[in-house]
């Protein structure tokens, strides 16, 4: 893989920030970045279709409200043009996307409860520090990988928090299946030398994330890998 499109919302600061983080690490992976704007469905379709005209491309979809609204279209375009794509939120993978890597979407609500408790006990909200995510999760959809003709390296699977092996009926955290423990989180350097498009794209995303948060925020405890088996 030599080309990566970054689908972002240019009208929000987070879109610019995520793109900047990705741009800062792209040279170390030898990939050419191409920012794609997503203001509406027609712009998304035109931009992705034009990018896909050349070979050896992949797609990074940054987190935004517009990406969520147009997620079905984005997933469909990635499948139609056979673009390995990485998303920021887990429900993209549950909906047929290839890989997601981003903050745990439930954990902030659990942590917010402790702030509510402290405020009710008399602490001033202005005195409470702003918190950043401390838990990140990696999800992989093997059905999508197979459709794209990709072999996901065992080392990448071993680091995943959840693997979807077929089309899940109701993907959730409570889904059962095989469980494997892992001792550390994936790092960009883990797959820097890989020639497979899947590790290259996910490594670029992870490297960008490492620039946005301190290393000390990554939890060191072992977390289970969930293999979700749905309607095969």
Q: What is the pLDDT of residues 128-145, one digit of tens each?
A: 998 888 888 999 999 999
Concatenated DSSP letters of 64-77: -HHHHHTHHHHHHH
pLDDT score at 131: 84
Residue 232, pLDDT > 70, answer: no
User: Which pTM does this prediction carry?
Assistant: 0.68
| Cβ contact 187:206 at 8 Å | yes
Residue 184, pLDDT > 70, answer: no
Return the minimum-mean-pLDDT range out of 79-83, 174-178, 219-223.
Answer: 174-178
- Exposed, middle or buried by CB within 10 Å (0-12, 13-18, 19+), for 14? middle
170-203 burial by CB neighbour count: b if 16+ within 10 A, else e?
ebeeebeeeeeeeeebbebebbeebeebbbbbbb
Residue 182, pLDDT > 50, answer: no
Of 215 and 91, the structure prediction assigns the larger pLDDT to: 91
Residue 206, pLDDT > 60, answer: no
Residue 230, pLDDT > 60, answer: no
Residue 121, CA distances (Å) to 58, 113, 131 in order: 50, 12, 19
Q: What is the pLDDT of residues 4-61, one digit of tens each?
A: 999 998 888 777 788 888 888 888 888 888 999 888 999 999 999 999 998 889 999 9
How many whole angstroms separate alpha carbon 226 and alpha carbon 174?
9
Written as six digits, the tokens of 95 are 């909906």
What 3-state DSSP class applies to 130? coil
DSSP assignment, residue 145?
A: H
pLDDT score at 58: 93
Share of the chain above pLDDT 90, in %: 34
Residues belonging to the chain: 232
Mean pLDDT taken over the chain: 77
Query: Quick one: CA torsion of 70, 76, 82, 83, rounded to 10 degrees?
Result: 10
Residue 120, pLDDT > 70, answer: yes
Domains and CATH numbers, the chain: 3-104+135-228 (3.40.50.2300)
Nearest to 231 by CA among 170, 160, 155: 170
């Amino acid at each position: 893989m030599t080309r990566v499109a970054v689908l972002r919302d240019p009208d929000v600061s987070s879109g610019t920030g995520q793109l900047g983080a990705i741009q800062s690490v792209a040279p170390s992976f030898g990939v050419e970045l191409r920012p794609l704007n997503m203001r509406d469905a027609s712009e998304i379709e035109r931009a992705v279709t034009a990018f896909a005209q050349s070979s050896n491309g992949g797609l990074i979809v940054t987190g935004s409200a517009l990406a969520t609204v147009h997620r079905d279209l984005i997933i469909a375009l990635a499948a139609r043009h056979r673009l390995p794509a990485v998303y920021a939120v887990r429900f993209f993978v549950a909906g047929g996307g290839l890989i997601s890597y981003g903050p745990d979407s439930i954990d902030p609500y659990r942590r917010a409860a402790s702030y509510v408790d402290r405020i009710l006990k008399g602490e001033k909200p202005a005195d409470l520090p702003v918190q950043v995510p401390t838990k990140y999760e990696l999800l992989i959809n093997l059905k999508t990988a197979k459709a794209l003709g990709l072999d996901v390296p065992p080392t990448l699977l071993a680091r995943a928090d959840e693997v979807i092996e077929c089309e899940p009926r109701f993907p959730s955290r409570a889904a059962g299946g095989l469980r494997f423990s892992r001792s550390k989180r994936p790092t960009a350097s883990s797959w820097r030398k890989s020639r497979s498009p899947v590790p290259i794209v996910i490594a670029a995303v992870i490297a960008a994330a490492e620039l946005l948060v301190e290393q000390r925020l990554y939890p060191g405890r072992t977390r289970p890998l969930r293999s979700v088996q749905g309607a095969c």
